[in-house]
C-alpha cells in the first residue's frame, strides 16, 4: 500500500467513496445531501493536506489534515479518515492514522484532536484509543444516527511531540 498526497485528478475516484459514506449518515456530521462540489471543498480544498491510500491504483482509503482552530489553537490539527468498504478490516485506518501523525508533525502541528468520534463507530473508538488518543470529552445526544437514534460523540486528543 502507498499513501500519497491526493491530486485533483483523484477526486473522480474519491467522490463515490465520500458520497456513499456521507449519504449513509452513520459516521460523519455532514449533510447527507452534500453535492460533489461541496464534498470537493470539504475534503480536498479546505484542508491543509489530503491523502489517498492505494494499492496498484486501487483506492483503499483517504484522509485529510486541517487546522482544528485558528489563531492560538492553530498548533492542533484535526483529521478525517474513510476506508473503502472492500478494504475494511485490513489495518488501512491504522496505517493512515500513523502516517497522518507523521505528516501532521511535518506540517508543524503539535497535537491531533478528533472532535466528533461517534460512540456508535466502535471500531474507530477502539483504534484511536489503541493508538494513544485520550477521550477528553463526551457530548451527550450529539448525533442522530439513522439506526441507533441519539448517540454520544467523543472528543479524542493526542500530543504529537
- Domain borders along the chain are 2-159
Q: What is the mean pLDDT of each run of 10 residues along the chain (161 residues)?
A: 96 97 96 97 96 96 97 97 95 97 98 97 96 98 97 98 89
CATH architecture of 2-159: 3-Layer(aba) Sandwich (3.40)
How far does Cα 103 stand from its chain's mean position? 14
Outline where DSSP puts E strands in 27-133. 49-55, 58-67, 76-83, 111-118
Amino acid at each position: 500500500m502507498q499513501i500519497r498526497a491526493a491530486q485533483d485528478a483523484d477526486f473522480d475516484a474519491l467522490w463515490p467513496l465520500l458520497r456513499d459514506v456521507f449519504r449513509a449518515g452513520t459516521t460523519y456530521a455532514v449533510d447527507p445531501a452534500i453535492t460533489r462540489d461541496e464534498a470537493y471543498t470539504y475534503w480536498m480544498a479546505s484542508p491543509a493536506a489530503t491523502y489517498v491510500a492505494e494499492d496498484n491504483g486501487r483506492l483503499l482509503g483517504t484522509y485529510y489534515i486541517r487546522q482544528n482552530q485558528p489563531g492560538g489553537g492553530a498548533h492542533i490539527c484535526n483529521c478525517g479518515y474513510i476506508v473503502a468498504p472492500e478494504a475494511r478490516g485490513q489495518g488501512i485506518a491504522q496505517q493512515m492514522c500513523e502516517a497522518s501523525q507523521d505528516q501532521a508533525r511535518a506540517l508543524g502541528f503539535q497535537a491531533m484532536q478528533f472532535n466528533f468520534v461517534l460512540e456508535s463507530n466502535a471500531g474507530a473508538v477502539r483504534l484511536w484509543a489503541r493508538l494513544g488518543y485520550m477521550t477528553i470529552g463526551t457530548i451527550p445526544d450529539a448525533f442522530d444516527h439513522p439506526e441507533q437514534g441519539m448517540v454520544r460523540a467523543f472528543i479524542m486528543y493526542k500530543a504529537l511531540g
